[in-house]
Amino acid sequence: MIATASAAEIPSRTKVLVTSLLFMGLAHLLYLKQYIKGIFFASIEVLFFIFLPRIWEKIVGMITLGDPQPNLPIRERDHSMFMLIDGIMILAVILIFVMLYYLSVKSALSGWQEIQINGKFPDKGSFFSEIGDKAFPVAGLMPAILLVLFFVIVPLVFSACVAFTNYSAPKNIPPNNTVDWVGLDNFRALFGGDAIWTGAMGRVAAWTLIWATLATITCYAGGIIMAVVLQESRIRLKTVFRSIFILPYAVPTVVSMLIWQNLLNGSFGTVNRTLIALGLITKDTVIPWLSDPKMARFMCIAINLWAGFPYFMLLTMGTMTSINKDQYEAADIDGASPIQRFRFITLPQVLYQTMPLIIMSFTFNINNFGAIFFLTGGNPIVADSTITSARGTDIMVTWIYKLTITLLKYNYASVLAVCIFVILAPFAIYNFRRTKSFKEGEL
Amino acid sequence: MTNSTITKKHSNERTFQIINKTIITIVLTIVAMAVLYPLIYLVSAAFAPGNSISSLNIIPFKDGVTLEHYRFLFNNTNYMLWFKNTFLIALGTSVTTVLTCAIAAYVFSRFRFPFKKSMMLSLLILQIFPSFVGMVAIYVILLRIGGLDTLWGMVLIYLAGNIPYNTWLVKSYIDSIPRSLDEAARIDGASNARTFFQIVLPLAKPIIIFLAITSFTGPWMEFVFSKMILRSNAKQTLALGLFSFVTDKKNEFTTFCAGALIIAIPFVIFFVLTQRILVTSLSSGALKE
């Protein structure tokens, strides 16, 4: 049966807009005869209202973070961190609700438009098949959206929030005690307020930037040099050498770094023992590869070069094979030397193509937990290490780990996380502007 | 120019080339030795007698070859259990990542819907932050849903961390598949789901394989989250088990190497075999986004 709508049955746009704004799905039920959609939207709003008291309670909990209740047994006291995370998750749920509300209004308006154009209500048969087909994109996106929302965004927001609380050992660890909002106190302590912590902060931040810069440059340069030498040399063993050179990339970082850590051990490591056996050093003059702060930092970059150059070598070789052969032939005819060919044809094109990856590699190295943690563990100990847990080669991410796991200073760890966020934000924007979708105006 | 100067010039060039090749070969050999240095000790320590790094002979394989560390690993430790746990986590992560990212990427590539731009933008920005910045929160969330000390909890964490980057990666690939192909299927009456599974997915096979492999290899040596989430002995993974051999308290370097070698070998074989494909997929995946 085809429902033909007489002029009287077609509602006005204002009516549809007002009713859909008034209550989710109301317009669908009253005017558009889209009952299933209407009931779906309406039941979401009903559920929201049923849970409103609890939602309100969670939001209040997030704002107060609970009251100290020393008289109650520990199990019954307010757990500030649960309250905070519940509050953030509720905010995420509210966000979803608002988005759905927006969708329901939009759907009502587009439904109205369709009736207006067709002059009739959509018939039932097409409506059902349409729902089945429309469900696919929604159902397909749902898992990705929910997972990212609750396991990526909520944790990041939580982290940012903790930076403004006093969540730290020994006084403010739930469930024994509560946590309070302290405003910018943590930032003040780490940026000038507390001499020891400020010193450690400055040292770690500076080293993180130096580390990321040098680690990126050395690996990039090393990778390009090896790729060019391999590609241009035309020696017979090329494939053998290439297979050897990609080994560090293939071996998991944890394994290779822990092996290096042992080989470079001051008194027991094979490196020093080999040097002693060769008579280059004596037992008393062993080289403190990983126990002298400056030397340890140098070794971090050197070993990272060992582990990181194959990636850039592979990339460069990939781009080199895509360079047009005609250019080389033309250069040969003009009598260019191999060095000139490299300088004026190969290098510019390789640089141009791999430049974005330098930026990506820099952000990767800022976060390169494994290369530091498994090689030096952050060692050696420096003056403030006992208080701050930041050692000579710790970068920000390894320090975050230590603050969280050993010192339980979650507040300071979160300040560091916020700092990483601030450092990386420009790169995120760069990353965005570089994409094809942005360039083609899709975003 | 006389004949003799031409031949002289030729022979000069040849000697120059020979010297050049020799120098390059020497340089390459030195680099190769530096690259192989720790790996040779990895192999030799795995079969060397003795326990700690201090007892390891500086000349590889000098003290003979023994299988005692492997006997120790399989008889006296939970190595097989660690292997099984890690394998299950890796497999779970790989399958769920491929499914979630491929469908999401297809929807992003082919459909228009509200909030599409802001969602894609958030994914792009989120991919730059390491997931363990929020590890305290992830811990509390897993505690809330009973996911602590479980393998599925680990899969959830890895999966969520994989989504932002890989959805973009697959989306870029699907964008390059002509729309006319799936439009033709739609005209023939295929549903969205059918179009995706029977037309788009087979065409996106290269990137799907790439994604399956990278998300499978990722969890094998992940340490931070495993350490925080997996507490009981029955739920340990390889990274945790192997790391426990070389903590400050005990140094069983040779046992560590024996266990690590078993993991490293398949990785190395895979990388060496696929280096050609790797080169092209690295450059096309990363460069031409």
Comparison of pLDDT for B3 and A35, the residue scoring more:
A35
Number of structural domains found in chain B = 2
Q: Examine the fold and report which residue of B69, B88, B107 is the final residue of a domain before the chain moves on.
A: B69
Q: Output the tens digit of pLDDT for each of chain A's 443 residues.
A: 344 545 556 778 888 888 888 888 888 888 877 788 888 888 989 999 999 999 998 898 888 888 887 777 877 788 888 889 999 999 999 999 998 899 888 888 888 888 888 777 766 555 555 566 677 888 889 999 999 999 999 999 998 999 999 888 888 888 788 888 998 999 998 998 888 999 999 999 999 999 999 999 999 999 988 988 888 777 778 888 888 998 998 888 889 999 999 899 888 888 998 998 888 888 888 888 888 899 999 999 999 999 999 988 888 887 887 777 788 888 888 888 878 888 888 888 888 877 777 888 888 899 888 899 999 888 888 888 888 888 889 999 999 999 988 888 999 999 998 888 888 888 877 777 776 666 666 65
Highest mean pLDDT among A211-225, A320-334, B169-183, B235-249: A211-225
| B93 and B229 together in one domain | yes
Task: Return left, alpha or beta for B206; rule: phi > 0 is left, psi -120 to 50 is alpha, else beta.
Answer: alpha
- Taking the alpha carbons at both ends of chain A, their separation in whole angstroms is 43
pLDDT score recorded for residue A1: 39
pLDDT score recorded for residue A443: 58
pLDDT score recorded for residue B97: 96
| B95 and B58 together in one domain | no
| B137 and B201 together in one domain | yes
Tell me the per-residue pLDDT of B145-163, one tens digit each, with 9 for 90 and over. 888 999 999 999 999 999 9
| B50 and B91 together in one domain | no
pLDDT interval class at B287 (50, 70, 90): very low
pLDDT at B38 over 50: yes
For chain B, say whether A97 makes contact (Cβ under 8 Å).
no
Comparison of pLDDT for A315 and B43, the residue scoring more:
B43
pLDDT score recorded for residue B289: 36
| B114 and B7 together in one domain | no
User: Within a domain: residue B231?
Assistant: yes
* CATH 1.10.3720.10 placement within chain A: 185-439
User: Within a domain: residue B106?
Assistant: yes
Backbone angles phi, psi at B243, to 5 degrees: -60, -35
| B177 and B37 together in one domain | no
For chain B, say whether A411 makes contact (Cβ under 8 Å).
no
User: Within a domain: residue B266?
Assistant: no
B177: domain CATH number? Answer: 1.10.3720.10
| B31 and B144 together in one domain | no
Q: Are A244 and B32 in contact (CB < 8 Å)?
A: yes
Average pLDDT over residues B61-65: 84
If you measure CA to CA, which chain B residue comes closest to A418? B133
DSSP string for residues in B99-166: HHHHHHHHHHHH---TTHHHHHHHHHHHTTS-GGGGHHHHHHHHHHTT-TT-HHHHHHHHHHHHHHHH
Q: Are A132 and B191 in contact (CB < 8 Å)?
A: yes
Q: Are B42 and A255 in contact (CB < 8 Å)?
A: yes
Chain B: give the shortest CA distance to residue A21, in Å: 17
Instruction: Collect all residues of chain A within an 8 Å Cβ-Cβ radius of residue B242.
Output: 254-255, 258
Q: In this structure, how many other beta carbons lie within 10 angstroms of the beta carbon of residue B234?
A: 10
Q: Examine the fold and report which residue of B39, B69, B99 is the final residue of a domain before the chain moves on.
A: B69
Tell me the per-residue pLDDT of B67-117, one tens digit each, with 9 for 90 and over. 899 999 999 889 999 999 999 999 999 999 999 999 999 999 988 888 888
| B159 and B211 together in one domain | yes
| B143 and B224 together in one domain | yes
Q: Are B137 and A268 in contact (CB < 8 Å)?
A: no
Give percent above pLDDT 90 in chain B.
30
pLDDT score recorded for residue A259: 92
User: Within a domain: residue B250?
Assistant: no
For chain B, say whether A128 makes contact (Cβ under 8 Å).
no
Query: Which residues 302-321 on chain A approach chain B with CB closer than 8 angstroms?
Result: 306, 311, 314-315, 317-319, 321
Instruction: Collect all residues of chain B within an 8 Å Cβ-Cβ radius of residue A436.
Output: 172, 175, 288-289
Contact of B289 with B172, CB cutoff 8 Å:
yes
| B63 and B83 together in one domain | no
Query: Which residues 176-215 on chain A approach chain B with CB closer than 8 angstroms?
Result: none
CATH of domain A185-439: 1.10.3720.10
Instruction: Collect all residues of chain A within an 8 Å Cβ-Cβ radius of residue B48.
Output: none
| B163 and B44 together in one domain | no
Facing A401 at nearest CB: one of B156, B224, B286: B224
For chain B, say whether A243 makes contact (Cβ under 8 Å).
yes
Facing B21 at nearest CB: one of A233, A250, A321: A233
Residue B20 lies in domain: 3-69
| B112 and B25 together in one domain | no
Q: Are B129 and A156 in contact (CB < 8 Å)?
A: yes
